Structures are given as C-alpha cells and as structure tokens.
C-alpha cells in the first residue's frame, strides 16, 4: 500500500508563497503564537477562524505583501500555536494580538479577521484602539446577546433542508463545541469529515478549497488538544457577550465583508451600538470562507480600505 503524502510543514507552506514569507513563533501574553510574515510596507495582521489555520489566507497573502508587511497568525489554540487550558475568551485572545503587534516591532497595525478571528479583532479594537489602525471583519460579527438564544433545533423548514441538502443552515457546531471531552473522543482521526461537511455547506464553489488545504486543516485539528482548544473558542462565548456589554462603541473604522448568505444578518448586527464607523459589503458569489472563495475581491477591498487611512 502506498503511504499518503505527508502534510507540508508551516515552513514549507510559507516558503511556497510569493513574498518571502517565513514561519516563526512569539512568546506573548503567557502563551506561544505561531505566525507567518512576509512582504514590505505598513503592518497588516490576519486572524483566522475555525476549523482552519493561517493557511486560509494563502490566496491573499502574496498580493497583499506587495503593499503591506503581512503577518498571518495562528490564534491561541490554532495550528502550531500553543493550546493552553484557558484563555479562549476573545478579550484575552485580543490581548495576545496586542502583544504580538508590539513583539513584531509595530506600535499599531491594520487588522483583518475571519470567523473567530473577526471576534478577536473586534475585542482587540475595543480594548486597545491604539493598536488597530483599521479593522476588517469577514463573515462573522461579534458574539452578542442574541447568540445566547439560538434555538436548539433548526428554527425553520428552510434551515432543515439546508442541513440535509445544501449550503448554510443551522449552526449545530455552536452547541456541539460546548461539550467537554466528547468532541475529542468522537473526532480524533475523523476531523476530515468535519472539514468536508462545513465546506460542502458553506462554499458556493467547492473547487475554491483544494485537496491540499483540506488535508492541512484536517491534520491541524486531528488531535485531542487541537479539538479541545477549538471548542474553547465557543465555550467562552458567554464571557464574550458579557465583555461586550461593558464596551463603548468602537471608534476604529470597521469594514465587514459578508458572504451572500450572511449579508442581511451582518448588516443588522454591525450596528452603531458596536461602532461609530461601520460599513458592511456583500461578497456576491461567496459563501462563508471568503478569503479562499473570493481572494481577488478581498485583496481589493482590504487594500482600498486600508489605504484610505488618514487620507
């Protein structure tokens, strides 16, 4: 029997990208974060989501690196970063990034976050506005009070049909990831099924996420510590909601890029209660995984938004 091809290392993946990217680690806020940095220009920090790694930005990093010093981060608990027992509330994870920006030698940076990374970016901007020049959140808002009332069962026939046959539907993983120990027992060695199900339901174009990327993500999560850590991002959402209630509206300019199925909800959620300068843009033809499905549009939107800073 032929052995499967080994999954490339972070260093090999980084070296495969145009822009002279390198893989490194930083000791910040009592944890160890892995990051990949390349390019030249003003600093830009990219924060990813579940269940992916920094590699989710592979399609946008080379183009962005022509204008920015790009750092794609594995968040606390993600990929090659440390997976401590605690610290998965987004205020603490935002503190991680605040210290990472300083570690990299910058006083402040442009920040773009997808999925969980969007929430981390928002909490970073709320607590350390001096560190964030402008913020882009991609296809996720911020855990708010209404998230605590997501129904246990799909709320409509349309959600049930979507779960069975198509894209989108009921976010069952919000509840599943609340469980302690069971996800690790069920999913170790089987995480590729989760990857393929999520992409199958939340991509418009299945070919936009290739086989190698799916293997990279499945390998990153296919162990008990990684599954536990990923679940931790969801188990702390009640803390995130409580923290949000103590914040004034963020004054850092925010651009929200929303996949076509999320646009209406994000346009409502990203309200003046959250920020004084928020614009929501629909990414037509894209599902949830926008940086992989619409990379050219993401590069254009980020570049235009960031270059408008102070002028």
Q: Across the strands, what pairs with 280?
A: 256
- 96 among known catalytic residues: no
Helix (H) or strand (E) holding 38: strand 31-39
Structure tokens at 287: 């599902």
Q: Which of 114, 222, 288, 289 is catalytic?
A: 288
Structure tokens at 78: 């993600």
Distance CA 246, CA 160 (A): 36
**127 closest CA partner among 240, 288, 265:** 240
Distance CA 75, CA 82 (A): 9
C-alpha torsion angle, residues 246, 119, 14, 98 (rounded to 10): -10
**Torsional class of 34: left (φ above 0), alpha (ψ -120 to 50), beta (otherwise):** beta
- 115 among known catalytic residues: yes
Please state the φ and ψ torsions of residue 280, each to the nearest 5 degrees.
-115, 130
Q: Which of 115, 139, 222, 240 is catalytic?
A: 115
176 contacts 227 by C-beta, under 8 angstroms: no
Q: Which of 122, 234, 263, 289 is catalytic?
A: 234
How many other β-carbons are positioned within 10 Å of the β-carbon of residue 265?
12
- 288 among known catalytic residues: yes
276 contacts 110 by C-beta, under 8 angstroms: no
Instruction: Please identify every residue annotated as catalytic.
Output: 115, 234, 288
């Amino acid at each position: 029997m032929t052995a499967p091809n080994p999954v490339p290392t972070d260093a090999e993946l980084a070296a495969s990208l145009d822009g002279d990217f390198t893989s490194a680690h930083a000791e910040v806020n009592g944890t160890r974060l892995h990051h990949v940095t390349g390019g030249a220009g003003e600093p830009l920090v990219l924060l990813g989501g579940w269940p992916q790694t920094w590699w989710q930005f592979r399609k946008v990093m080379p183009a962005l690196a022509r204008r920015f010093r790009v750092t794609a981060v594995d968040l606390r608990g993600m990929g090659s970063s440390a997976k401590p027992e605690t610290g998965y509330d987004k205020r603490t994870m935002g503190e991680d990034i605040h210290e990472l920006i300083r570690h990299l030698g910058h006083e402040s940076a442009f920040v773009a976050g997808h999925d969980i990374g969007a929430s981390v970016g928002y909490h970073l901007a709320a607590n350390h506005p001096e560190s964030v020049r402008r913020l882009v959140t991609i296809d996720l808002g911020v855990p708010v009070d209404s998230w605590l009332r997501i129904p246990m069962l799909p709320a409509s026939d349309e959600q049930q049909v979507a779960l069975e046959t198509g894209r989108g539907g009921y976010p069952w993983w919000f509840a599943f990831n609340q469980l302690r120990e069971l996800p690790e027992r069920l999913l170790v060695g089987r995480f590729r099924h989760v990857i393929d199900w999520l992409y199958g339901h939340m991509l418009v174009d299945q070919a936009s996420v290739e086989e190698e990327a799916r293997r990279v993500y499945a390998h990153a999560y296919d162990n008990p510590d990684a599954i536990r850590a990923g679940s931790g991002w969801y188990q702390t959402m009640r803390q995130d909601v409580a923290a949000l209630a103590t914040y004034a509206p963020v004054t850092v300019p925010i651009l929200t890029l929303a996949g076509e199925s999320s646009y209406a909800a994000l346009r409502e959620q990203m309200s003046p209660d959250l920020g004084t300068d928020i614009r929501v843009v629909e990414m037509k033809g894209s599902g949830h995984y926008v940086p992989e499905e619409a990379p050219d549009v993401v590069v254009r939107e980020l570049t235009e938004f960031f270059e408008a800073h102070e002028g």
